[in-house]
């Protein structure tokens, strides 16, 4: 027997006891009130997170997360010597919760897609240089900014108490969605004889505001409602920019994912403001900064030129393209204000940016 640490020695002693028939079986008597439940699938979608929340007390989500700050599954018996790991310090439900988190996670799992298999890459066709370059520039921009929406949840995820696992799982699904978005736009840039064009220092400067938000809720309002809301409206109008069935499918599939991210953010802000109406001004402040950043980001020269060429159908129709971008912007603002109203906040008369583009 090599020299082993006390922990390994203790494990070997336990194993030896069990093998000699010295059983404990105390775990069999643990958590009696949690025993005897039977979760069943609600429908053909299978056994979802929502379904297992409908049995016993397993769906009871405390306003304050477990004081143990551990990884113990919600509803299990927690021994008194459970260590607090110190890292799970977001313990207030109102700081992360959204009533639709379990539903959105179930939907995310059911609607995963593959950028390798589910995009009809074989239907790409050679394009005129101006159109292919515009598409590649748009894809370069999107590949650059998509994963900030993965980095932001990742920054907060490990701090969230495990009692709010619905939120943690949803955010994990979002991180993977954003990974797919980043790679699908990168793939489109490289798949039709073009390539990546110019990255954007301005965009990155502006998106820092999301990563540097002082808490999860302000970061979420900025990203889920404002940033991703604008992107959702853009993808919803993806036909405006698509050259082939390939881009149409990319925009449509990304749109489904973005709709979940925006829905979480909207419902989280609603929950937060119901619990903390006194903090509405904090949300207004960060949204004002975010509106300025989003507006500038969407109007950077590379972005606006490339989008207008695609929307118009060629460099010679760029004027037509600008008009379509103006129409899209109006829709983005309208939908943004509507979502905020659903969350319980009205910025109609507080907007820091014009409601229409001067084009
Ligand atoms: Fe995305
Ligand atoms: Fe997203």
Distance 319 CA to ligand 1 centre (A): 28
Q: Is pLDDT above 90 for 2?
A: no
Distance 48 CA to ligand 1 centre (A): 24
- Residue 112 is predicted with a pLDDT of 97
The CA-based angle 85-86-87, given to 5 degrees, is 95
Q: Is pLDDT above 90 for 357?
A: no
- Residue 204 is predicted with a pLDDT of 85
The Cα–Cα gap between 254 and 138 comes to 15
Distance 353 CA to ligand 2 centre (A): 23
- Residue 86 is predicted with a pLDDT of 85
Distance 278 CA to ligand 2 centre (A): 28
Q: For residue 184, which ligand has an atom nearest its CA?
A: 1
Percent residues over pLDDT 90 in the chain: 89
- Residue 140 is predicted with a pLDDT of 97
Predicted TM-score (pTM) of the model is 0.95
Distance 305 CA to ligand 1 centre (A): 22
The Cα–Cα gap between 60 and 163 comes to 9
- Residues 62-68: what's their mean pLDDT? 86
Q: For residue 254, which ligand has an atom nearest its CA?
A: 1
Distance 258 CA to ligand 1 centre (A): 6
Residue 271 contacts residue 279 (beta carbons within 8 Å): no
Backbone φ and ψ for 341, nearest 5 degrees, come out as -65, -40
- Residues 314-319: what's their mean pLDDT? 98
Distance 296 CA to ligand 1 centre (A): 19
Q: For residue 251, which ligand has an atom nearest its CA?
A: 1
Q: Which tokens hold the place of 78?
A: 């927690």
- Residue 108 is predicted with a pLDDT of 97
Confidence of residue 69 (pLDDT cuts 50, 70, 90): confident
Going by the DSSP 8-state scheme, the letter that residue 11 receives in this structure is: H
- Residues 163-189: what's their mean pLDDT? 98
The Cα–Cα gap between 59 and 47 comes to 14
Confidence of residue 332 (pLDDT cuts 50, 70, 90): very high
Confidence of residue 87 (pLDDT cuts 50, 70, 90): confident
pLDDT tens for 244-297 read 999 999 999 999 999 999 999 999 999 999 999 999 999 999 999 999 999 988
- Residue 310 is predicted with a pLDDT of 98
Distance 102 CA to ligand 1 centre (A): 20
Distance 325 CA to ligand 1 centre (A): 20
Q: For residue 253, which ligand has an atom nearest its CA?
A: 1
Distance 288 CA to ligand 2 centre (A): 21
Distance 119 CA to ligand 1 centre (A): 16
Tell me what the pLDDT averaged over the chain comes to: 95
The Cα–Cα gap between 102 and 48 comes to 8
Distance 151 CA to ligand 1 centre (A): 11
Q: Is pLDDT above 90 for 85?
A: no
Distance 271 CA to ligand 1 centre (A): 23
Domains of the chain: 93-343 (1.10.620.20)
Distance 148 CA to ligand 2 centre (A): 9
Distance 323 CA to ligand 1 centre (A): 25
Distance 293 CA to ligand 2 centre (A): 17
The Cα–Cα gap between 296 and 258 comes to 21
Distance 142 CA to ligand 1 centre (A): 8
């Amino acid at each position: 027997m090599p020299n082993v640490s006390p922990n390994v020695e203790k494990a070997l002693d336990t194993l030896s006891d069990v093998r000699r028939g010295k059983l404990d079986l105390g775990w069999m008597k643990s958590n009696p009130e949690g025993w005897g439940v039977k979760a069943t699938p609600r429908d053909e979608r299978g056994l979802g997170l929502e379904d297992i929340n409908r049995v016993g007390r397993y769906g009871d989500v405390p306003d304050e997360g477990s004081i143990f700050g551990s990884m113990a599954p919600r509803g299990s018996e927690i021994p008194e010597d459970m260590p607090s790991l110190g890292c799970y310090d977001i313990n207030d439900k109102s700081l992360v919760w959204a009533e639709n988190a379990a539903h959105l996670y179930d939907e995310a799992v059911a609607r995963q897609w593959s950028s390798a298999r589910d995009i009809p890459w074989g239907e790409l066709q050679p394009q005129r240089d101006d159109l292919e370059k515009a598409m590649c520039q748009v894809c370069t921009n999107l590949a650059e900014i998509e994963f900030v929406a993965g980095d932001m949840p990742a920054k907060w995820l490990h701090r969230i108490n495990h009692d709010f696992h619905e939120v943690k799982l949803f955010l994990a699904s979002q991180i993977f969605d954003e990974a797919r978005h980043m790679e699908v736009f990168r793939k489109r840039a490289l798949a039709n004889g073009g390539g990546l064009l110019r990255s954007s220092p301005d965009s990155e400067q502006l998106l820092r505001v999301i990563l540097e938000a002082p808490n999860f809720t302000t970061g979420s309002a900025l990203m889920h409602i404002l940033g991703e809301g604008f992107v959702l409206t853009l993808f919803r109008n993806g036909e405006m920019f698509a050259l082939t069935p390939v881009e149409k499918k990319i925009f449509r599939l990304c749109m489904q994912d973005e709709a979940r991210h925006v829905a979480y953010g909207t419902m989280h802000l609603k929950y937060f403001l119901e619990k903390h109406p006194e903090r509405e001004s904090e949300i207004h402040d960060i949204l004002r900064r975010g509106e300025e950043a989003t507006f500038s980001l969407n109007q950077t020269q590379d972005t606006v030129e490339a989008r207008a060429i695609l929307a118009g159908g060629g460099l010679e129709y760029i004027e037509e393209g600008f008009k379509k971008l103006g129409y899209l912007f109006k829709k983005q603002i309208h939908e943004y204000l509507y979502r905020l109203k659903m969350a319980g906040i009205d910025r109609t008369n507080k907007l820091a940016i014009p409601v229409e583009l001067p084009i």
